Amino acid sequence: MSLWTRISEALEALRQGESLSEVFERLRTPPERTVAFTIAVIALSAKMAKADGLVTRDEVTAFRRVFHIPPEDEPAAARVFNMAREDVAGFEHYASRIAGMFRVEGKPCGADSVLCDLMEGLFHIATADGDYHPAEDAFLARVAEIFGMDDIAFRRLRAQHVPDMAPDPYSVLGVATDAPLDEIQAIYRAEVRQMHPDQMIARGVPEEAVKMAERRMQAINQAWDEIQDSRREMA
């Protein structure tokens, strides 16, 4: 059974009167978690589009590029998007329900969490048209807060995705400018390890969505290279 067939079944449950929370509750375990993850990205993308009042072709293309929606399954994806956009419930309600499903008790929303992967997808779509709107930034900041992501982690993720907001390489890696090089290297390696496809799939992220980490990986690699170069120049 394809991912989008399972999504269609989840939609049917919604149409039959189940709430979004009840549907997510039934999708807590693999492989159903990939369905929940995809629905969560679509639903929050719809709410984000409502926040800035615009859905661009680039944003739609970015989503399709990540999830490879077959032509026959596009109506199902569109139904999820429209259902979320038209729902009277605010985005904070959606974000809270999604956080409740994916948050691991006692564990922060770090690089190795599904919620961080989900934020990755939202940034990917928000920046697809090359115009990162202030309303999108406010929306994503609030979603990150609901997900339990601290401000440093949010700013680091934003720096990895939004070119105009990219600070120095130390901020991209979330380390102090005077941190020892071996400490920075350890953090860099941990970031790379958590973005390995096997690790992401084990967290319940759809295989197609692993591509969303490519931009973040590029930013992290570039930051590490810049720090090494600057340290060599100072030696």
What local confidence, expressed as pLDDT, does residue 143 receive? 93
Q: Which two tokens stand for residue 190?
A: 């941990």
What local confidence, expressed as pLDDT, does residue 141 receive? 93
Residue type, 22: E
What local confidence, expressed as pLDDT, does residue 34 receive? 74
What local confidence, expressed as pLDDT, does residue 234 receive? 78
**CA–CA separation, 110 and 53 (whole Å):** 30
pLDDT in tens, 23-69: 766 776 665 667 777 777 777 887 887 776 655 565 566 666 656 67
**CA–CA separation, 65 and 14 (whole Å):** 26
**The overall pTM is greater than 0.85:** no
What local confidence, expressed as pLDDT, does residue 162 receive? 80
**CA–CA separation, 110 and 121 (whole Å):** 15
What local confidence, expressed as pLDDT, does residue 128 receive? 74
Q: What is the mean pLDDT of each run of 10 residues along the chain (235 residues)?
A: 67 69 68 73 79 61 64 73 72 82 62 76 79 86 90 81 72 85 92 81 69 75 90 79
pLDDT in tens, 215-232: 678 888 988 998 999 888
